[in-house]
Amino acid sequence: MAGARCTLPHMLDDRDRRLLALLQANAETPVADLAEQVALSPSAVSRRIARLREAGYITRVVAVLDRDRLNLPTTIFLLVRTGRHAEDWLDQFHRAVAAVPEIVEVHRLTGSFDYILKLVLPDVEYYDTVYKRLVRQIELYDMSAHISMETVKSSTGLPTDHL
């Protein structure tokens, strides 16, 4: 069955958690190097990685691109309020944000705003292009853009000590 996930036959141990952390840091690390770092044989590490994938702990492997080299140094957070919450509007909103590649994250919020969107852009002026594209596709009650002046922390890794 496609997409099915099994469960690990045992709880994750410290080596499994360490492997997950190492793979998050660099998924291209050779198995022999991983094996050395977790004090196991390469074949044991390969089996553990396969088991972690099968169990759904590792969902995919991606390349993290350099935003500056891609001419996307600007980050804008867009707070959105909507007057509508009907299913048809939600579907339209999901399609609209999915169609804009500069929108890299969307979160539904509690509080006075409904959503926060993270945009990566070549410059602040390009925000107007994204804004016009978005409002052509979806009705929004209020939008408030906030320019990030500095990235203090940015990580693709998740903590592994809560397993």
Domain residues of the chain, as ranges?
Answer: 14-54, 74-147
Q: What is the mean pLDDT of residues 87-100?
A: 95
Evaluate whether the domain defined by 14-54 bears CATH number 3.40.1110.10. no
The 3-state secondary structure of 17-62 reads: HHHHHHHHHCCCCCHHHHHHHHCCCHHHHHHHHHHHHHCCCCCCCC
Residue 7 clears pLDDT 70, i.e. is over it: no
Residue indicated by tokens 């995919």: 60
List, as one string, the DSSP characters of 147-160.
E-S--S--------
pLDDT at 2: 45
Q: What is the pLDDT of residues 71-84, one digit of tens each?
A: 999 999 999 999 88
Q: Domain 74-147 belongs to what topology?
A: Alpha-Beta Plaits (3.30.70)
Name the phi and psi angles at 90, rounded to 5. Answer: -60, -45
**Section 56-68 average pLDDT:** 95
Q: For the chain, what is the total number of helices (H) and then of strands (E)?
A: 5, 4
Please state the pTM of the whole predicted model: 0.85
Q: Assess contact for 63 and 34: CB atoms under 8 A.
A: no
| pLDDT for position 3 | 47
Q: Are 122 and 129 in contact (CB under 8 A)?
A: no
